[in-house]
Copies of this chain bind each other. A is one copy, B any other.
């Protein structure tokens, strides 16, 4: 039973790490230059603070997910893993929400604020950001499963005390 738990945990961590790496890489490589009426326009993730936060959050999640694989189950450090998992989960929600909010304006604009959509001009850039968002969302869902799995184990009636 303990071996199955460990296997599920390792598979989930690797899945989360893979999706997080994909999210960070797809976002970092989002770059497009186009010209409108002779004026050159450059779209880059680093021009938007939320996108930079997204890259940092998922890069850290990638490294963290791999590091946690080396934590021995039952050790003192393993007690802290659930706490840090919850913190990582929250940071990922923040990164996806902030990026999603900006991507929504990029795609649809906001007529009341006078912000025009830009995805018509920089299609490849917008597709990249959308791809990064999807990969990030997958990583977030996997982290949500990891947290719920751990909390379920911790909150179940027959808990194993030390």
Q: Hey, which bits of chain A sit against chain B, CB under 8 A?
A: 41-44, 47-50, 79-80, 82-83, 86, 89-91, 93-102, 104-106, 110, 112-116, 118, 144, 147-148, 151-152, 154-155, 157-159, 161-162
Contact = CB atoms under 8 A, between A and B. Distances in A.
21 contacts: A42-B112, A47-B110, A47-B113, A50-B101, A83-B152, A86-B151, A90-B90, A93-B94, A93-B97, A97-B98, A98-B100, A99-B101, A101-B101, A105-B115, A113-B118, A114-B116, A115-B116, A154-B154, A154-B155, A159-B161, A161-B161
Contacts of A49: 101, 104
Nearest to A114: B116
Contact of A110 (B48, B154, B162): B48
A157 to B, nearest CB: 5
A82 B41 CA distance: 48
Contacts of A162: 157
Contact of A155 (B83, B90, B105, B106): B83
A115 B112 contact: no
Contacts of A158: 161
A49 B113 CA distance: 13
A83 B105 CA distance: 33
Nearest to A157: B162
